[in-house]
Amino acid sequence: MTQFLLALGAFLLAHAVPPLPAVRGRLVVLLGRRAYLILYSALSLVLLAWLISAASRAPRIALWYAEPWQAAIPLIAMPVAFWLLIAGLAEASSLSVSIRSPNPSTGPGPVASVTRHPVLWGFLIWSVAHIPPTGHVVALILFGGMGLLSLSGMFALDRRAQKRLGKERWKALAAEAPLIPFAGLMRNAGRLAEIKVWPVAMAALVYLWFLLDGHQRLIGPDPLAWF
């Protein structure tokens, strides 16, 4: 349990301090925006891997016992989560997280027309979907904490974007990029055809690898064990 709490503390600290405007500003000046985002994303993934590994070894206090239908929830949700993560990082965005620098003169891309915070929604879907089939205290702390962090991050990014872009410009961009995924589907349906194929293909490959081998190899439980 000690290592899990240390990993959780390190993960939360890494997502509380570097994003502070003063700290982030200095790091961006020192490293450049792209290098900062790449290094920050790499650090987040390393700490997330440590956190999940520590959680898998921590003592388990059961809160409920999962049923097969609960185990099916992440199987259904994770393809969407993987696509949001990969496509969101790959598409330049002035409204949310991305590894690409946005063009201030252009509006939200086709992925942002699905939701303006695709990466954070990917993490939120991942975390919430994994709560029902786990059912123990450490998992609830891990996935519940990750979900709350992702949700709060959306509003923090909205405030930061409003300050950077100006309230009127942010409102105009946000009108084309809904907060809730697919909330503007009818209005933005024509933009879905602009979505690139390669993030969809990569998300499918990553999902299949985790389903058939990766999840069991890296984390432990076999996601297909219930079936």
Query: Per-residue confidence at 104, pLDDT binned at 50, 70, 90?
Result: low
Q: Is residue 124 part of a domain?
A: yes
Nearest C-alpha neighbor of 86 from the set 173, 177, 206: 206
Do 105 and 194 fall within a single domain? yes
Q: Are 160 and 144 in contact (CB under 8 A)?
A: no
Q: Which of 15, 30, 59 is the last residue of a domain?
A: 59
If asked whether residues 214 and 139 sit together in one domain, one would say yes
Q: How much is the pLDDT for 209?
A: 93
Domain that holds residue 162: 64-218
Higher pLDDT, 94 or 101: 94
* 220: confidence class by pLDDT, cuts 50, 70, 90: confident
Residues 144-169 have pLDDT tens digits of 988 998 999 999 999 989 988 899 99
- The verdict on 155 and 195 lying in the same domain is yes
Kindly provide the b/e burial profile for residues 127-137, where b requires at least 16 CB atoms within 10 angstroms of the residue's own CB: bbbbbbbbbbe
Domain assignment of residue 181, yes or no: yes
Across 115-139, average pLDDT: 93
Average pLDDT, stretch 102-113?
77
- On whether the CB atoms of residues 167 and 160 are closer than 8 A, the answer is no
Q: Is the pLDDT of residue 124 over 80?
A: yes
Tell me which of 22 and 198 has the higher pLDDT: 198
Which of 114, 87, 113 lies closest to 100, judged by CA?
87
Determine, yes or no, domain membership for 203.
yes
Average pLDDT of the chain, as a whole number: 86
> What is the count of structural domains for the chain?
2
- Domain presence at residue 223: no
pLDDT of residue 216: 84
3-state secondary structure of 72: helix
On whether residue 225 sits in a domain, the answer given is no
Answer for the pair 78, 129: CB distance below 8 angstroms, yes or no. Answer: yes
Residues in the chain, overall count: 227
Integer Cα distance of 159 and 103 in angstroms: 20
More confident residue, 128 or 57: 128
